[in-house]
Every structure is written in structure tokens, then in C-alpha cells.
Amino acid sequence: MKKIALGLLALIIILTVAGWWVLRGDPAQYSVAQVTGLDPVFAEPDPQTIPTVEVAKPVGWGEGAPQAAEGFTVSRFATGLEHPRVIYAMPNGDILVAEANAPERVVAGGGITNFVAGILFSRAGAGVPSPDKVVLLRDADGDGAAEARSVLLQGVASPSGMAWRDGKLYLATHDGVWRYDYAEGATSITGKPERLMTLPGGGNHWMRNLVLSPDGTHLYVAVGSASNIGEGGMDKEDGRAAIHELDLTTGESRIYASGLRNPNGLDWNPWTGELWVTVNERDMLGSDLVPDYLTNVPIGVNYGWPWVYWKDVVDERVTAPMPLYLTDYTRKPEYALGPHVAALGLAFTQEGSRMGTGFSHGAFIARHGSWNRKPPSGYDLVYVAFDERGNPEGLPKPVLKSFLADKGETHGRPTWVAWDKTGALLLSDDTANTIWRIEAPGAAPAAAPKRNAGARLPPQRELNGDPAQAFDNPPADLLPGSF
């Protein structure tokens, strides 16, 4: 019996040490600030069979509220929602809320991965069944709180992205894009929808965001990957990790941009007219890799997923054959938002926004929060300033500070952003089931953004040597003023 007891004790010690080794993960070498911005520090990749895990358990706010940066106040616009994710502001000020969670799905990586993922999702507050609803909130008296609530749609499959124009509501579910007849101000939708696109459903990333082109003729649809790095097979990634463009006149669609592991927030840069997006990058390379990012999306662009990140850093774990000359045409992201912050909602400042002079020319981004970084990152709302030419600059500024509590817990998780009719910013918190309202009291409304304008480059009339250098060292007859 003594030998058996000693053997059991030795086994317990071995299992304890092994558990500690597995759970200790890979602590970050750098601060979030060092791996953020225009020139982030890149650590050496540390491929992991078992990921670093540090999941913050949501505990709610009670009577408390997020801590706002100096000059801002925060209040409750709406409470008692069911897992609110995407929020969309109608022209009349009504706020549409997609109450949703993941559909029934298989996470790439096999049975053990799915079992562990289920535990992690549950602890992070993402394990609840999807409410599958779109709700309308109305602040008719303009006091900063919604006093009316209506269910517009129910029974839609994990709804997320929304857009509206000319009596038509566009809605993305995890497996399609739909169009409903919807008169602005109505509190219900009774007609049957028209299916505009079929999308690859479920997968590791199930949200599908939408944005209309400024002229209302095209719809842009963000679809995330089915896996981390294509480990389920690249045939499962057809139509994923991409932004689609749908022509609403002809019904035809095409891949507008690709190589984006999990694109989320979509908005039009008001100074350049370009489409911009937030993207969640890959996992299991350590706490310092790879930074999520904010970037522009020129037509035809490729950002390299799954084979490379940050233009030309090859991910050696990927087993699928890399396309020829990939790094010759992949694009480097414009701005790093920090590794594993889970950047989601994006909203550029607009005419009438009331956030103060230091926050009147840039973008607001909800960072949902990490599950696989030590220490955790994200769990906040930040502002990225843009220069006069419409490019990001500096480091993110906090607007709502960290939602994290003590002892591995978090009060909530910032998810999506939209402007209310008064110029205040709304932020959904999907685990606290709340929409927060942030404003700078007394701030003057922002002026309308001024679009950049400039002379076009002269046409290239001859090739001298390397064509790529023609614009760096142009011939004399191509210099401005020579013709």
C-alpha cells in the first residue's frame, strides 16, 4: 500500500507539473503599445501545439460602468439585451441591434479542439445559444437612453451585418445575404426576404459584416476563415477570408479583396473614399504575434493569409502549397492594433459627431479582447487618429479603458460601434447585454470631413530599366511642368 501511495503521489506531481506547463503558456515579451501602430515590433514566432490560454470570465457590471478617458462620459443607452453584437444606426436615429451568437458548427482542428473550444467559448461568455433576432431601439425624446424596443426579425440564422437604403434592409446571416422591404420607422418586418447571396456558413468565424457603397449600387460583405491557418484544408476556405462585392443591379458578385483571415468592421474613409476594415490575424504563434490590424482595401488586394502575414513573413506551419510569387503582390497592413485584441467594430468620425477636438479626425475601434495572450489585450474602446491625408498616425488613444476586472475576470466585452442621432458614440457589450453611450459633454459637432484632392500623376510614356523604378526616377519629360 505504501508503494501504491507513493506511485499515486508521483503521478499527481507529474500531472500537476504537466498541467502547469500546459497552462503557463507563452507570456508576452513586449507591451501592447510596442506591438501596435505604424511600426510594430515583431517577436520571433513561437509555434504552439497547445495554445497560450488566458480567458477572462465575464461577470457583468452591477451598478458600475466602464471607466471613460478624461473628457468623456459614459451611460447606458439600453440594457437587458440578449448577446448584442452588431449595431446599426438608421437615418432617423433608430438603432438596429443584431442579437446573435455562433450557429451550430464544427471548429477546425478535430474533436479535441472542438471540446476545448467549447469550454473556452463558455468561459468567455460566447457559449450561449444564438438569440437569432434583430431588435429596434428608439430614443424618441433624445435623452440618451432608448425607451422603446421592438423585435423586427426573429428566427434568422446568426444575424450580424446590416445596411439600409431606399426602403430596403440588407442583412447578413452566417450563411447568406438577404434583402427585406422595410420602411424607415416601422417597428416590424412581416414580408419574406429575398436571398441575394449564399455564403459559406459557420466555421471558426461566423460573423458576416456589410457596408453599402456611397452611391448604394454595391454591397460589400466580409467573410472570415473557417480555420486558423487552413488546417482543415484549403477547399474549406473557398469564398472565405475575403471581402465580396455584390452588384445590386445585376446580382453578380466577385471577390473584392482576399487573404484577410477574419475581416470585421467595415467603413468608408471620409478623407480618401477608400474602404477600410479591421482584421483579426492568426493564433498560436505566441502572445506577441500576430497583430490584428486596421487597413485600407483597394480592389484586388491580397493580405497573404494563410501563407504570410505583414506582407512577407512566411508562416512555416501552413502545409498548403503557397501560390507562386505571392509575396510579390501581397500588401502590408496599414496599422497594427495589437496581437490577439480581437478588433471588431469600426466607425470613422463623421459630420456632427461630438467627441471633442482631440477625437474628431480618426476612427473608433472596439477591441473585443484576447483569449490567448498573457497578459490579456484588448477589452477596450480606442481611437486612432488620422492625418490630413487620411492615413493613421501615432498610437491608439483610450476612450473606454480596460473592461477587465481582477482575478481573471472581465465586466464585459466591447463589440461594435455606431453613431447615434445626437453625435454620441454607441458601443455594444455582448456579455453584459448592454449598449453604452459615450460623449464629450459640451463638445461642438465635428465639421463635415473634407475629401482630399490633388493633381494626377503624369502618364508614363516610356520604360527605362526596371519599370518598378519609373516613378522613383522619372525621365525628364515626365517631370511636372515639362508638358
457-475 confidence digits (pLDDT tens): 788 777 666 666 666 666 6
Of the given ranges (178-182, 241-245, 378-382, 462-466), which has the lowest mean pLDDT?
Answer: 462-466
The mean pLDDT of 154-162, rounded to a whole number, is: 98
Q: Give the pLDDT confidence score for residue 107 in this predicted structure.
A: 75
What percentage of the chain carries pLDDT values higher than 70?
Answer: 88
Per-position b or e across 428-443, b if 16+ CB within 10 A of its CB: bbbbbbbbbbbbbeeb
| Residues 6 or more apart whose Cβ sits within 8 Å of residue 94 | 136, 137, 138, 184, 185
Pairwise CA distance, residues 139 & 95, whole Å: 9
The mean pLDDT of 283-303, rounded to a whole number, is: 97
Please, what is the end-to-end C-alpha distance for the chain in angstroms? 99
188 CB burial (10 A radius; 0-12, 13-18, 19+): exposed
Phi-psi region of 152 (alpha: psi -120 to 50; beta: other; left: phi over 0): alpha
Q: How far is CA 194 from CA 68, 125, 191, 224, in A?
A: 42, 33, 10, 23
pLDDT beyond 80 at 6: no
pLDDT band at 453 (very low <50, low <70, confident <90, very high): confident
Closest CA to 397 of 433, 357, 430: 357
The mean pLDDT of 413-431, rounded to a whole number, is: 98
The mean pLDDT of 264-274, rounded to a whole number, is: 97
The mean pLDDT of 98-102, rounded to a whole number, is: 97
Of the given ranges (122-131, 192-201, 212-221), which has the lowest mean pLDDT?
Answer: 122-131
Pairwise CA distance, residues 290 & 370, whole Å: 12
Q: Give the pLDDT confidence score for residue 128 in this predicted structure.
A: 84
Pairwise CA distance, residues 325 & 263, whole Å: 24
pLDDT band at 123 (very low <50, low <70, confident <90, very high): low
pLDDT band at 330 (very low <50, low <70, confident <90, very high): very high
Q: Give the pLDDT confidence score for residue 124 in this predicted structure.
A: 67
Average pLDDT of the chain is: 92
Matching residue, cell 459614459:
74
Matching residue, cell 466607425:
347
pLDDT beyond 80 at 248: yes
pLDDT beyond 70 at 108: no
pLDDT band at 111 (very low <50, low <70, confident <90, very high): low
pLDDT beyond 90 at 25: no
For residue range 331-380, what is the model confidence (pLDDT) as tens digits?
999 999 999 999 999 999 999 999 999 999 999 999 999 999 999 999 99
Q: What is the pTM of this model?
A: 0.90
Pairwise CA distance, residues 78 & 349, whole Å: 22
What are the start-end ranges of the H helices in 76-194? 111-123
pLDDT band at 238 (very low <50, low <70, confident <90, very high): very high
The identity of residue 172, as a single letter, is A
Of the given ranges (74-83, 103-112, 211-220, 439-448), which has the lowest mean pLDDT?
Answer: 103-112
Of the given ranges (49-53, 160-164, 262-266, 410-414), which has the lowest mean pLDDT?
Answer: 49-53
Q: Give the pLDDT confidence score for residue 18 in this predicted structure.
A: 44
The mean pLDDT of 141-166, rounded to a whole number, is: 97
pLDDT band at 109 (very low <50, low <70, confident <90, very high): low
pLDDT beyond 50 at 20: no
Strands lying side by side in the sheet with 434-439: 73-78, 434-439, 425-429, 414-419
| Residues 6 or more apart whose Cβ sits within 8 Å of residue 431 | 58, 60, 83, 124, 125, 126, 410, 412, 413
pLDDT beyond 60 at 23: no
More confident residue, 432 or 49: 432
Handedness of CA 334, 340, 344, 350 (dihedral sign): negative
For residue range 47-97, what is the model confidence (pLDDT) as tens digits?
998 888 999 999 999 999 999 999 999 999 999 999 999 999 999 999 999
Q: Give the pLDDT confidence score for residue 448 in this predicted structure.
A: 94
Torsion of Cα atoms, 161 then 229 then 368 then 139, to 10° = 0
More confident residue, 123 or 366: 366
More confident residue, 114 or 37: 37
